[in-house]
Chains A and B, each alone.
Chain A
Amino acid sequence: MLATLFKFKGGVKPASHKDESTQTPIAPAPLPPLLVVPLRQSAGGTPQPLVKPGQKVLKGERIGAPEENFSSAIHAPTSGTVRAIEPRMLPHPSGLSAPCVVLEADGEERWIERVPVDYAAASPDALRDLLRDAGIVGLGGAAFPSHIKLKPGAAGRIGTLIINGAECEPWISCDDMLMRERAEGIVRGAAILRHIVSADRVLVGIEDNKPQAIAALRAAAPAAGIEVVPVPTRYPAGGEKQLIRVLTGIEIPYGRLGTEFGVQCFNVGTAYSAHRAIELGEPLISRIVTLTGNVERPGNVEVPIGTPIDGLLKLVSPKADTDRFIMGGPMMGFTLPRTDLPVTKAANCILAASPALFPPQVPEMPCIRCGACTRACPAELQPHELYWFSRAKNFGKAQEYGIFDCIECGCCAYVCPSNIRLVDYYRFAKTSMRALEREKTASDAARQRFEFRNQREEREKAEKAARLAAKTAAARQAIAGAEKPAAAVPAPAQTAEESAPALPQLDEAKKALIAAAIARAQAQKEGVQPKNIDNLVPEKQAEIREIEARRAKVRELAKTPPEEPV
């Protein structure tokens, strides 16, 4: 048994509401006729589709290839025919779309050939690749590719492996039910992960309000030498950083991976799916989702990825006064823009909300600097200061006060007596800062390319002038030397305008020739130009005229030698 547990500061204790959905065992969800599988389901780039519309696929067949090593593969959740690869709306607060594979199920559930691997005999590298190709990502909600978290970091080796079964968010119980019913698989998965990083010890942290899960894992654990540690129930004990802190005392700052500190943390669901992937050869094509809240029959279901949410909701019958659905829990989840969106690997819970369960937002009052938020913040930030800076769009200051260390747990907004939507301000500030950063990178690149181009043009101009001068000199020499009709003079190869300075030296015949060439060029230009603008809508023509005028002006300006910078 571990001697001491550490504590994290802050945190809150909302009512847990987990019993509602733990009364019935995990039920398999019926196979929907049409599944929509988003290609991008983990951090690190969108996988390339490996299938074409009309193609038949088997259950578990790879349909999206991971981009380099940074993302995770995507698989067909059932056998059937690919109907389309097109942008569909994602379950995301933005309600934006991204490429998805639309799969029509044939109902036969024909598997690909499943190849179990004896992990003890395989090398860690091979196992990491297997996990990547099986699409294993964190199932706690962040969907971070697991194979990346398993790479040894600067500390050399991951000594402590933590399996996160804390599940601190109210209402959600998918991990709880998984631990109760499939402890064996979780323990086996943990053993695989442990083998990959050759960790000294494995700690399974479970909030002490889940005695059955603790008992089930303890029963399954001894064989594999895995320690089950009950941790005090306090939101957000299941936050990765908080759980690591509670179990080991190590604090992982923002932007660093646990590996750098010799510790890494995986969700119980992730461990379970690693077991399925390696020992059964089944890629990650389904997950357990809690359906709860304002519904008649709350419970947990095992859902193929890509199943539309509205179909699932029929299983539990939302009550009449349900006004919206939340994906995730009440502390960190987001309101779904629609319900015909697919279940993704990150979807741990669908929560039906009603005004009675989750009262609508009351009016915001000014911050009275009461400090309640500071006491509740598990990241030990000063939320009211961050709020002030974010609201004033003083992003530099917000960053200085550590806004990126905020884990968006919502504790501060939960306790704020002024009802300020603190986390929304932080999200606004963080996404704006990231956008500014992107814009700045882009404009810096543009500036460099512009300056490079200007230099190149200058150089080319100089070179051209030099060539021209040399040629003129040569021509003069030729004229002077031969004292012959100009017809013998080699015609300058440049365009008419550029040879203009040489004209006075040439005789009439030559002049006429050149004039004719200019006329031809002009005629050609005019002949082409109208074609360009002809079949355009009037607005576009106006726009082009405007741009033309601008260009003329620019050319004009460019001709006058630029003054020295002041």
Chain B
Amino acid sequence: MNGSPHLHQPVSVQLVMLKVLVALVPGIAAYVWFFGAAILVQIALASAAALAGEAAMLRLRGKPVGLFLADGSALVTAWLIALTFPPIAPWWLTVSATLFAIVVAKHLYGGLGQNPFNPAMVAFAVAIIAFPALMSQWPAVGFTDFAAQLGMIFKSQSPQDAVTMATPLDALRTQLHVPEARATVAGILGSHASFGNIGGKGWEWIALGYLAGGLWLLQQRIITWHVPAAFLATLALIATGFSLASPDRYAGPVFHVVTGGAMLGAFFILTDPVSGATTPRGKLIFAAGVALLVWIIRTFGAYPDGLAFGVLLMNLCVPLIDMGTQPPVFGHKDSKKERKP
């Protein structure tokens, strides 16, 4: 017996996921422009692994394979994994991390809609713990030699120093922690032409691409303003505070916002609805919490970027945040407690 409503808006999970993928395109385009086509290979690898893993798990769990495979959620996870990994990571790393994300982080928790942790971030965290060296090899800007990139991805050719370099975040973290080096933020960032003066050459453009896609998602009402705004504002605020107090030791807000995975995270990773908070206030708290953790891990932690750990830690708090931030119901604005059957 099917009751009302008999009408349905033309939306589906598939459409939502498709829009997310489309919104990633400007960022990916900038990525290719600055770092070559290797990222496309990674995206293809991750997508194939995700779809294969998803299909296998769906079959194992006795779910309709065609229906769920077409929902596109596995592809979104795959693309996010590819975009957060170094583009010259060996193929087996991308593939196994993606499989881990789909099989363990998604399906062992119950599949679409049930996973408490963001699968892409689980993949990133696992990879960086298991293979820290491989996860820190980033191509230098302008290294767009596709053949050489393919060599690194598929033949595990170790990259030459000329073509890889530490990311600006990495450089800051490693050099600022050495007291005798007496390094300053400005000094480090100015030390290498490709660090640029904002967030690392190329990275700011990629961030801009993500921003454009994210704004489009906002306009499409796929995401709400709460998460990106709270995340970026908190990150900027903390960074401003500390860099004003000690400009030599702490990077400024603009750097933090455009570098690393910040922009991708703000619009595409933190906004994952399944593992994030759902109430408006909850979203603000969730995103601000991630921003705080990101800044702490970036500044004091042992890992180059804190996004994955920040997101995972806050994922843990989501049930609590949601429970504590239930907005009042229509008609119960002043007296929340008097609801009777």
Binding site for B on A (CB under 8 A): 8-9, 12, 14, 93, 170, 241, 245, 251-256, 326, 328, 330-335, 353, 358-359, 361-363, 365-372, 374-375, 378-382, 384-385, 399-402, 404-405, 408, 410, 413-419, 421, 423-424, 427, 433-434, 437
Contact = CB atoms under 8 A, between A and B. Distances in A.
Closest 7 CB pairs of A and B: A253-B331, A410-B5, A366-B113, A251-B331, A402-B329, A380-B330, A330-B6
B188 to A, nearest CB: 41
B268 to A, nearest CB: 14
Nearest to A326: B6
Given A255-B340, A413-B5, A367 B113 contact: yes
Contact of A358 (B1, B3, B7, B73): B7
Q: Is the interface of B mostly helix, strand, loop or mixed?
A: loop
A349 B13 CA distance: 33
Interface of B: 1-9, 11-13, 15-16, 64, 67-68, 71, 73, 111-114, 221-222, 224, 273-274, 276, 278-279, 322, 326-333, 338-341
A362 B15 CA distance: 14
Given A251-B331, A367-B113, A331 B5 contact: yes
Given A382-B278, A405-B330, A331 B339 contact: no
Nearest to A430: B341
B330 A378 contact: yes
A365 B13 contact: yes
B7 A400 contact: no
Contacts of B330: 8-9, 241, 245, 251, 253, 378-381, 405
Contacts of B322: 385
Contacts of A413: 5, 8
Nearest to A370: B273
Contacts of B338: 253
A423 B73 CA distance: 25
A330 B279 CA distance: 29
Contacts of A414: 5, 7-9
Contacts of B326: 382, 385, 401
A557 B326 CA distance: 54
A381 B8 contact: no
Given A368-B273, A404-B340, A410-B4, A380 B327 contact: yes
A170 B4 CA distance: 13
A404 B3 CA distance: 18
A330 B12 CA distance: 20
B333 A251 contact: yes
Contact of A419 (B12, B222, B276, B328): B12
B331 A254 contact: yes
Nearest to B64: A363
Contacts of B328: 380
Contacts of B339: 253-254, 399-400, 402, 404-405
Contact of B3 (A241, A379, A421): A421
B327 A399 contact: no
19 contacts: A12-B9, A251-B330, A253-B329, A254-B339, A335-B3, A362-B8, A363-B67, A368-B273, A368-B274, A372-B221, A375-B221, A382-B278, A382-B326, A384-B278, A405-B332, A408-B4, A417-B11, A417-B12, A437-B341
Contacts of A170: 7
B13 A361 contact: no
Contacts of B327: 380, 382
